[in-house]
Amino acid sequence: MATCNNCGATVSDAAKFCTECGTKIDKVETETQYVFVEKAGSLLQILNNPTEVKSLSINGYINASDFNFLKKHCTSIQNIYLSGVEICSYEGSEGTNEGYNYYYNANEIPLGSFFYWLPIDDGMPSLKSVVLPDNIIEIGRNAFARAYNLADINFPEGLNRIGFVSFAFCKTLNTIALPSTLKRIDDCAFNNCECLENVYIKAENPPHLGNNVFDGISKEAFLFVPTESYGKYKSSLWSHYFKEIIPD
């Protein structure tokens, strides 16, 4: 039997997804640390040996300063589970836009949260999978840009906007499923995700696309859309990026 790192449910060894919460089951045996953050901004006081943590499940309340701590100190992190997290607003200079006094909205993945600026030849970032909070409404700009090993991420219902360059150069990302609530994807959000081949979307009306949103994805990429919305997507900018649009 295997254990879901997100909710702790027991599933069969053959299972690919948890039957309780839908999280993808990682067959690699990686010990997960579970932490509860009672007060946003206090993760650094709770997490032991952050540089050694490879799999982390957080519940409670966090803000942009906690995301900055994760980025700077959890340098070996592979899996992050945030479904039980509430992201609180924050204003200050210790967020992910470090050194600048900045206001970060609640229920938003802060800008640059897991953005890796180093060239690919200087090492591959470790992050492989992310379970996002259930209540987020926006993913900030550059949030996961250049997270080269990121292969698995969910986009929960309630998400309205995916920000500028937020997943650019995520070169391992192959399949994404976008929610019915999505309204907008900003410029270059999935630019140069060269292995991205399957995009599923539940939105009945095609979300607004900025410039070059899917430039550089696989030339064999398919878009799966609601059957009743096929014509809308076929006549929209979405059709420019995909080999075929398939009613789903």
What's the pLDDT at 121?
A: 47
Strands (E), the chain: 2-3, 10-11, 32-37, 55-62, 79-87, 90-92, 102-104, 108-109, 129-131, 138-139, 152-153, 161-162, 175-178, 184-185, 198-201, 208-209, 222-225, 244-247
Higher pLDDT, 10 or 145: 145
Alpha-carbon Rg of the chain, whole angstroms? 18
| The residue type at 97 | N
pLDDT in tens, 223-235: 999 999 999 999 9
Place 37 in a pLDDT band, splitting at 50, 70 and 90.
very high
Average pLDDT (186-196) is 97
Determine if residue 225 is left, alpha or beta; phi over 0 gives left, psi from -120 to 50 gives alpha, anything else beta: beta
Place 10 in a pLDDT band, splitting at 50, 70 and 90.
low
34-48, 107-121, 156-170, 215-229: which range is least confident on average?
107-121
Using CA atoms, how far apart are residues 182 and 47, in angstroms rounded to an integer?
A: 33
Provide the sign of the torsion angle of the four alpha carbons 184, 190, 191, 195, taken in this order: negative
What's the pLDDT at 30?
A: 59
On the 0-12 / 13-18 / 19+ scale of CB atoms within 10 A, 119 is exposed
> For 178, phi and psi rounded to 5 degrees?
-100, 145
Query: In the block, which residue shows the tokens 């399957």?
Result: 198
Of 102, 184, 172, 81, the C-alpha closest to 138 is: 184
What's the pLDDT at 28?
A: 42
Higher pLDDT, 213 or 75: 213
Higher pLDDT, 3 or 231: 231
Please say if the pLDDT value at position 145 is more than 90: yes
What's the pLDDT at 98?
A: 84
33 bridge partner residues? 56
What's the pLDDT at 43?
A: 97
What's the pLDDT at 25?
A: 62
Please say if the pLDDT value at position 18 is more than 60: yes
Average pLDDT (157-170) is 97
Return the percent helix, strand and coil in the chain, to nearest 5.
15, 25, 60
- Helix (H/G/I), strand (E/B), else coil: 120: helix
What's the pLDDT at 23?
A: 67
